[in-house]
Amino acid sequence: MTQPLNGRSILIVEDESLVAMLLETILEDMGCATVGPVSNIDEALTLLDGGLVIDGALLDVNVAGREVFPVAAALKARGVPFVFSTGYGEGGLPDECARRRHGLKLACRRRISAARPSALPGPRCDPGPR
């Protein structure tokens, strides 16, 4: 059986290295091609502004003391689905983001997989040559 995320390119924005490695491993085990992990907001925005083509993103809410919402807004403007990875729950999200799927840190494969169906609909992107 083919995994629904097979071949999907997923950006990870996470500043805690152990959590980032765990998320990367989980996503790769699910068949994803991971981008990052990116450990700061400016780097994530630079990648997106540079034309990075991805199928989705997993975003820590607090990245190196800054909120990830500018990255979320950039992804939303491009039509790229994303999921928040947070230890704060819905209470740590602004109202416009609280309805979006989110997973609690330390995220496990089951939580990421449960968030995935509504967060990553449709066909995967073709990032072209790397």
pLDDT at residue 125, as a whole number: 44
Q: How confident is the model at residue 122 (pLDDT cuts 50, 70, 90)?
A: very low
Higher pLDDT: 94 or 87? It is 87
Half-sphere exposure of 62 (CA within 13 A, CB side): 8
Higher pLDDT: 118 or 61? It is 61
Q: Is the pLDDT of residue 26 over 60?
A: yes
pLDDT at residue 30, as a whole number: 87
pLDDT digits (tens, 9 = 90+) for 34-52: 999 999 999 999 999 998 8
96: how many CB neighbours lie within 10 A of its CB? 11
Average pLDDT of 83-91?
68
Higher pLDDT: 74 or 86? It is 74
Higher pLDDT: 107 or 130? It is 107
Question: Residue 113, Cα to own-chain centre: how many angstroms?
Answer: 12
Give how far Cα 29 sits from Cα of 79, 89, 92, 109, Å: 25, 25, 28, 9
Every domain of the chain and the residues it spans: 9-119
Distance from C-alpha of 116 to C-alpha of 17, rounded to nearest angstrom: 22
Average pLDDT over the chain reads 76
**Fold for domain 9-119?**
Rossmann fold (3.40.50)
**β-pairing verdict for 33-38 and 9-13:** parallel
pLDDT at residue 84, as a whole number: 83
